[in-house]
Amino acid sequence: MNWDDYPNFSEEEFKCSCCGETKMDPRTMAKIQELRTAFGKPLVVTSGYRCPNHPNEISRTEKGKVGSHGLGMAADFAVNGSDAYKLINLAFQLNFTGIGVNQKGNGRFIHLDDVQEYETIFRPVVWSY
């Protein structure tokens, strides 16, 4: 993968916090870059790729499933307030298929993924945490 294709992001931002691997899907990264360009200001990535041993993926992998982060097709962005609204609106326009919203307490974020169809992950879908 050529990280130069995504000028507003670095590989470091998407590394698994558990093992340091980065296996982001290039198509998803292109969509994330398009989102960032439309958003018009920096996006802070709070979670990108997650390996099978990542604490948030372990229960899935034990069941033989892989989540959208484990597929390299998702990222979480630290945003809130009107920026969260704007990001969600842009995500709909760009046809992201998974939008998760956490806008309460500390650590507010928006999850975006580009999974089309995979096992029991039904798309498109929106949820809250």
Please write the tens of the pLDDT for every residue from 62-73: 666 788 999 999
Residue 67 belongs to some domain of the structure? yes
Residue in the block written with tokens 């870059």: 33
pLDDT at residue 122, as a whole number:
75
Model confidence band, residue 113 (pLDDT cutoffs 50, 70, 90): very high
Q: What's the pLDDT at 118?
A: 63
In this model, does residue 2 exceed pLDDT 80?
A: yes
Chain position carrying tokens 């558990």: 18
What CATH number has the domain bearing residue 81? 3.30.1380.10
pLDDT at 62: 61
**Would you say residue 93 lies in a domain?**
yes
Residue 122 placed within a domain: no
Strand-pair category, 98-102 with 125-128: parallel
Residue 35 or 61, more confident: 35
Name which of 43, 1, 5 is nearest 25 in CA terms.
Answer: 1
pTM of this structure = 0.92
**Structural domain count, the chain:** 1
Range of the domain at 64: 13-117
